[in-house]
Structure 1
């Protein structure tokens, strides 16, 4: 793709990155069939190729209209197009640049700005979010229950038996997961303890920054990223062997820290080190001996693979492989590459599209009449559970229950 970006923009790292990504697009159109919004709306401006043209226009200094914002807002950032693209176009990174510049140039409705600000602050302020969940417990995951006191005591006993930091991993607890579905982190700790690992947890206020990043709160996102890098680097320096994420949305964000901090002389190398030590829990467990866990021959499980796992982190089929190793039979899911419509806060700001995508996804997930659906991200879990009576859980809970 030919570009005519202003010279002052091309003099920056951001401009050079955007120009390189734009020029890598060859207009082939392979991305259209992989795009959930194009599949629903049939408008090329709601496809990756169409949005690339819109971003190119923005970067070249043209006017940013409300229509431009609407088309960019409707992108799920699922990155399915990246998996399909034969040219390796880094669409997600280009979208981040385009959205930020479009936001700066646009006169977004003040009410929209206020709502977006309120949502991201509410979700990333633990004391407030926890208070809301406590006041309205129906918002929690319907199957979210604490382990019994005996089980917690056993976990603590197992932790006490470990060799301090040299056998420790750091679990990213998340900013909303501890309140919405606390059993996910507890199950993760139990599984890792069974493997002889001491588990340290990040405090809830150490949000990965994804919510701010995707809602134009870039300054707040960078502040959170720097806080995390400083805190987690200290753990690595003391001997922690890995940083574990059990929410694929958080995992892909942390693995993107090097890109987001690439222009920061102080944090660029630190960000790279954090990303190199960060693993989705499936990625980490795939390298472990899992023979201590009970095998369930031919027990059928339906797995929903989050976009942030299969497209963002590029770990397609990994959870399914682990479950097969343990004897589970994985049901086939049609259009498994398509987004369920959760996409972080997308279900809040694009409810109509989000619900249609969920309906389509559940049709495919329920086709095999499953007794349980498992996934790997809290957002997908909460979103899908609202559309079905079939229990939706994190896959790590299977290992925890049958270990």
Structure 2
């Protein structure tokens, strides 16, 4: 098995990270029914196709850390098995990348089932310290980092005071661009404001981290806050440069909202952007929640090809390998997360100047994994071509 020695180290480290919170989980879990859609669970015919593509299994090598193992565990839970630490370590280590669903011959959607199971574990009081830390940060500060600064700190006072109070279009910035990559936020808004796009005065986390890790009740409160903000602005369209925000706003918020990703918006307005050609070769990494989950493949490539030469990675589009940052795995299992990112960097072709992606979490995780090629967001490439 690949990386056997390292896997044992990761396993030991994971065990330390998986301490259950002291909530009398054993007793509490027995009193609550484990309610996950049985039809979704029983769609899995245990054929093992997913074992060949599950990125976490590729790194860790435990049967419980691949999709088939997780589905068997969930099946046992709905049939009466009480949650335990072993159950938690299996279900909490899924990145929800969706490649198993894309390859499943039976049409099962394991990430959806895993998220539902995580929500049940939360109800049963079974969570990790990492999950609780994330929940607390979002619940108390409105962002996944626990930041107390204004979400619009990257704007000057005069810029904030002149933001349109009403608009059909809102740029939903997200936690990462607000607090870790404010230069992405600023460059994005500089482009979007030419099209009459405004910002929410009190945007909070989209709730993706809460939904992915099972804290649905907490997520609903934050989502309602954002919806009130959107209604006050009068917007019918949200634009976001974060894949996690995109999939959450598009699939978990009310259907009447139109949600488009930044690459889609840029692709629609290429002629108006008046971009110049650059003497560069780049490759593109498909974020899981933009690509596999929502089939946004062509728009970012259209933008890139309008600017420079695109050399594709070894695995692209629906076959793209996960960066390892999603599903709460980055915070809960950093060693596994970085190993997944290093595996993704192995797909980079030779002779490229940059790795371009359209998700700040992918940028962060791929950068942290090392490598000798700079990882940039697609808005940075657009900004180069606009100068």
- State the TM-score bracket (shorter-chain normalisation): 0.7 to 0.9
Match of 1:176?
176
1:217 correspondence with 2:215? yes
Q: 1:362 to 1:132 in 2, by over 3 A?
A: farther
CA contact (8 A) 1:37 1:47 kept: yes
Query: What SS does the aligned partner of 1:286 have?
Result: helix
Q: Deviations over 1:164-209 (max 9, x none)?
A: 856x41011112321211121222222224xx41121124642111
Q: Residue in 2 aligned with 1:333?
A: 313
Query: Conserved in 2, the CA contact under 8 Å of 1:209 and 1:221?
Result: yes
SS across alignment from 2:228: helix
Match of 1:359 among 334, 339, 342: 342
Paired with 1:87 and 1:204, the residues of 2 have a C-alpha distance of 43
Q: Tell me, yes or no, if structure 1 residue 398 matches structure 2 residue 381.
A: yes
2:126, 2:246 → 1: CA distance? Answer: 33
Higher relative contact order (CA 8 A, sep 6+): 2
After superposition, where does 1:50-69 map in structure 2 within 5 Å?
Answer: 50-69=69-88
Residue deviations 1:54-110, cap 9 Å, x none? 1121122222221111111111111121222244323222111111223434655xx
Instruction: Quote the Cα distance in structure 1 between the aligned partners of 2:354 and 2:252.
Output: 34
Q: Which moved more, 1:245-254 or 1:87-96?
A: 87-96
Alignment-derived partner of residue 189 in structure 2:
189
The equivalent of 1:250 in structure 2 is 245
Distance 2:86 2:187 in 1: 45
Does structure 2 conserve the Cα–Cα contact (< 8 Å) formed by 1:123 and 1:175? no
Is 1:307 aligned with 2:288? yes
C-alpha separation in 2, matches of 1:256 and 1:53: 27
Once residues 374 and 321 of structure 1 are traced to their aligned partners in structure 2, the CA distance between those partners, rounded to angstroms, is: 13
Question: For 1:181 and 1:214, how far apart are their aligned partners in 2?
Answer: 22
Q: Give the superposition deviation at 1:222.
A: 1.3
Corresponding residue of 1:122: 137
Give the whole-Å Cα distance in 1 for the aligned partners of 2:80 and 2:261.
39
8 Å Cα contact 2:277-2:308 kept in structure 1: yes
Q: Would you say the 8 A contact 2:64–2:70 is kept in 1?
A: yes
Deviation at 1:244, TM superposition (A): 0.6
Q: What is the Cα deviation at residue 297 of structure 1?
A: 5.7
From 250, 254, 266, the equivalent of 1:285 is: 266
* CA displacement 1:240-298 (0-9 Å, x = unmatched): 3411111011111122215xxxxxxxxxxxx1223xx1111122333334354224266
Q: In structure 2, list runs of 5 or more residues that go unmatched.
A: 1-31
Shift of 1:211: 1.7
Which structure 1 residue ranges, 5 or more long, are not aligned? 1-7, 134-145, 259-270
1:130 CA drift (Å)? 3.6
The answer (yes or no) to whether the contact 1:344–1:379 under 8 Å persists in 2 is: no
Q: What is the distance in 1 between the residues matched to 2:220 and 2:142?
A: 18
The TM-score, its normalising length taken from structure 2, stands at 0.78
Q: TM-score, normalised by structure 1?
A: 0.75
Cα distance change, pair 368–309 in 1 and its aligned pair in 2 (3 A): same
Alignment of 1:3-402 (within 5 A): 15=36, 18-105=37-124, 112-113=128-129, 115-122=130-137, 125=141, 129-130=146-147, 168-193=168-193, 196-203=194-201, 205-235=203-233, 238=234, 240-257=235-252, 271-274=254-257, 277-290=258-271, 292-296=273-277, 299-324=280-305, 326-336=306-316, 337-343=320-326, 345-365=328-348, 367-386=349-368, 387-388=370-371, 390-402=373-385
Aligned length: 347
8 A Cα contact 1:191 1:399, kept in partner: no
Q: CA RMSD in A?
A: 3.3
